[in-house]
Structure 1
């Protein structure tokens, strides 16, 4: 004979199941949020031991900041694009052309004008990419690769003899304090936009389901264009910073920058699918993780070719772990 269950007991059981489910979801969210910090800690410990304590020396820490601060700025700026499930592979070409035109402008009109030119070019590049992507339905990955090659070609034309030197007086801007200030300002701007404005909320909604977002009243087309404008703006800033750090521009300016940004975002915890799991901290933490890995490989005596091979393997592994294969159709 089965024992009867009163309506009150049924309600209590249902509430208990809901609470357990809610608790499980909360713990998963916390674990997902802390995973990038845990990954950073593990990498620091591994390379600190492997380098016999050299990794965290003051001199090496300064080198880490110098290696990572431009990628940090670029990755944080590209967060909105990836949150929507898109890519911006034009950033390397954008850094190349803005650093070149920045040097040319700085020699004639000074650093303020050079910064303005770099930011303006970045804005225009982002606006062009976003508009073509939205209006002509060109896949973002194909469009941004084409844009990268176009910008890279112009950079080669402008750097006729291989490089253009920056005015020596601007070298005083290349200080650790200035780099930390720039990263701090970029972090605050992106954090506010991503966490406290509709831009961030709409971007994650588009990444989760663009059709549902449009039906909910989200201006999907405008948000996609805006995401590329933001990415281009900070890409232009990265071009100016690259110019200051290198004290020149060359045909190699911005080389591999787009891959470094993508790697930083992915290993920092950003899914290529975008959506609710997208966090702007991924760019900051991932860029630092990438710099530590590259620095550790240098300490081990590996050349740049091996570093690229290791970085490629890390990117493949990170994408394989984070990519949502349920929503992807593969044609055999």
Structure 2
């Protein structure tokens, strides 16, 4: 009996640590293929490129932990950034106010998603997919697919350095650690995990499953809007491609990191963070060696399939 338990624990440990082994292999392979990959400069570039997906991934982690999925995060990111960019550029609103408004606007979209799912009892996939299509349509109408360039007040944040890193990189890393603290060490976070682990049991214990799922959708929206703010600072503009496919990339990243699609398991740090870094490293490495851009799309699909398989194996042990 003890032997069987030990074997199960060993298998579970191997599956849980698979992502770290995979990450080391990725670094080793691309370091051999390109002399520029394993450098401090490139590591900084990878962190910089990870900021948007990390922000979206933080919010998506909360949604997945409660057993839901938000397919509107990419469009929400674009919507929040576009509306606030138009306000500051075309209507001369205060740029700092507009930047603060981006996560708030994203949170309102997430709140609407949550109300439709938890109160109106509509399917989360259909609700968030419909919201995605609606937001894309609104943005196209408002912007006429023309890129919006940020004013200097926004761009200046790229020049602030903390420990040699751009301020917005340090900002999202600090926010990530705060949200991990919330998830692991606060009553709210523990109840989020409980709702995702077993909604029926959580309900019997007196937890409002509806309210915690509503909160998770709202958090997902807030961080989609925050991602819009970060991309405005990083790239200096809002383009028509912003947000396209981000929801699937975010899912691939955090599932790669070990956040369970079944709900009730996962962490912002290190799991979601590691997943985002690995996916960014893959894209960065493929670009360095001159691989076709579509190879990355195939890689993402394979990663999702493999990690879903690993996730299902863990749930059976």
User: Do these two structures clear the TM 0.5 threshold for a shared fold by scoring above it?
Assistant: yes
Cα distance, 1:65 vs structure 2: 1.4
Question: Any gaps of 5 or more consecutive residues in structure 1?
Answer: 1-16, 328-332
Query: How far does the alpha carbon of each residue in 1:254-277 deviate from its partner, in whole angstroms, 9 at most, with x for none?
Result: 1121111111111111111012x3
Report the RMSD for the aligned CA atoms in angstroms. 2.3
Cα contact 1:67–1:291 (8 A) shared by 2: yes
Q: Give the counterpart of 1:61 among 32, 43, 53.
A: 43
Q: Which residue of 1 aligns with 2:59?
A: 77
- Between the aligned partners of 1:161 and 1:31, the Cα distance in structure 2 is 47
Cα contact 1:80–1:200 (8 A) shared by 2: no
Change (3 A) 1:173 1:43: same
Q: Normalising to structure 2: TM-score of the pair?
A: 0.89
What aligned pairs does 1:115-154 form with structure 2 within 5 A after superposition? 115-154=99-138
What aligned pairs does 1:251-290 form with structure 2 within 5 A after superposition? 251-275=240-264, 277-281=265-269, 282-290=271-279
**Structure 1 range deviating more: 171-180 or 249-258:** 171-180
- Between the aligned partners of 2:12 and 2:94, the Cα distance in structure 1 is 48
Q: Which residue of 2 aligns with 1:203?
A: 192
Cα distance, 1:249 vs structure 2: 1.2
Question: Any gaps of 5 or more consecutive residues in structure 2?
Answer: 160-164
Cα distance, 1:239 vs structure 2: 0.8
Instruction: Name the SS for the 2:278 alignment partner.
Output: helix
**Structure 1 range deviating more: 110-119 or 94-103:** 110-119
- Between the aligned partners of 1:79 and 1:326, the Cα distance in structure 2 is 18
What aligned pairs does 1:1-332 form with structure 2 within 5 A after superposition? 31=14, 33-51=16-34, 53-107=35-89, 108-160=92-144, 162-175=146-159, 176-275=165-264, 277-281=265-269, 282-323=271-312
Change (3 A) 1:25 1:323: closer
Change (3 A) 1:324 1:173: same
**Structure 1 range deviating more: 264-273 or 173-182:** 173-182
Change (3 A) 1:43 1:325: closer
Larger Rg: 1
**Structure 1 range deviating more: 281-290 or 165-174:** 165-174
Q: Which residue of 1 aligns with 2:162?
A: none
- Between the aligned partners of 1:181 and 1:59, the Cα distance in structure 2 is 16
- Between the aligned partners of 1:313 and 1:247, the Cα distance in structure 2 is 32
Q: Which residue of 2 aligns with 1:6?
A: none
Cα distance, 1:202 vs structure 2: 1.9
Task: Figure out how many residues of one structure are paired with residues of the other and give that number.
Answer: 308
Q: Normalising to structure 1: TM-score of the pair?
A: 0.85
